[in-house]
Amino acid sequence: MPGFELFGDLERKEVNDVLDNGVLMRYGFGGMRNGHWKAKELESELAKTFNSKYVQLVSSGTAAVSVALASAGVGAGDEVIMPTFTFVASFEAIMLLGAIPVLVDIDSTLTLDPKAVEASITPKTKAVMMVQMCGSMGNMDALRTICNKHNLIFVEDACQAIGGTYKGKQLGSIADVGCFSFDFVKTITCGEGGAVVTNNNQYYLNADHYSDHGHDHIGNDRGAETHPFLGYNFRISELNAAVGLAQVRRLSEFVKIQKRNYSILREALAHIPEVTFRTVPEGGEESYAFLNFFLPDLESARKVFKGFKENGIDVCFHYYDNNWHYIRKWDHLKDLKSLFPISNEVKQGLEYLKTKTFEQSDHWIARNISCLIKLSWTKEEVSVRAQKMVEIIKAF
């Protein structure tokens, strides 16, 4: 991760196909395309990769979450349970629909704690969104049981987890609807792009229409298409899809490299008694896009993270002090800083953030250091990096 590190002739070929025919829009202009429909091809490749019936490409991972939720009927006043550790896009995508993000604690998997989820369900709860941060999953079976018990929509945000699996199934293909990001720093990149994945035909049709101004995409004349319901513009372009088409065909290559580099680092750190690793549920396999480990306390984590930065160990993160990925510094959400008025329903729904504390999440995030795994590292470079990391951790 990320896939742009290994751009090559395959990506250039697919992009040149689009530039040669001049059609950058994914819909229409059939006579000019010379048979090239990159978005449709990428959707087909992704469906095969995920062993899922339907894939709808969109403009970003954030768009994928909003489109997925809207397609499943989530809207104004509905509550969507999500984790405290994620990316700000998670609550943005929920609030875009007028729905209310309900943040709950994570556990040692760094994803949703099923007990915290069940304790947070109210009559307004409509969906539970598992966010598979840093390439791994939570207890999918327990969350599925909870969703079935309470008749809730189970949403899988696998934006950072492409290539990971749970009990033989690709992450993102397990819940009622899954979401992916293909932005510039993901294992599979389109530059910008995302996807909604589902086996539910109605959710797919809704996503197909909703992401393109409500167009029903029936027939060959775009101007004659009807609009069964309101929609918006979350389309991906053919150029972005072309890059993604080449990249998805290289997914197994990328994951293999990630696993090699991850394994070298983990094996080195595993000899340090004070280092422990995130929990991966039985039957799960990470995508190996990140190595996540815990130190004994916040102070040691901060010192080690500072030591990493000062000694050239880049692309590592201490999320406790990070304002993108953890609730602790999301002041713009807590204070509802918005360019436009937020509905009273959402304001009231988010009142809990003024007093709510997340000690369990703090326990895990304060001690966690997360290291992105680069595809461009050689085996020798990773080995040198591993030794430096060991030396720095032992020094503290």
Q: Do the beta carbons of residue 129 and residue 97 sit within 8 Å?
A: no
Written as one letter, the residue type at 117 is V
**Beta strands across the sheet bearing 79-83:** 54-58, 194-198, 177-181, 153-157, 125-131, 79-83, 100-104
303 is catalytic: no
Q: Give the span between the Cα atoms of 155 and 141, in whole angstroms.
A: 13
Identify the active-site residue in 38, 48, 149, 186. 186
The dihedral of CA 144, 146, 150, 154: what is its sign? negative
Catalytic residue numbers, as ranges: 186
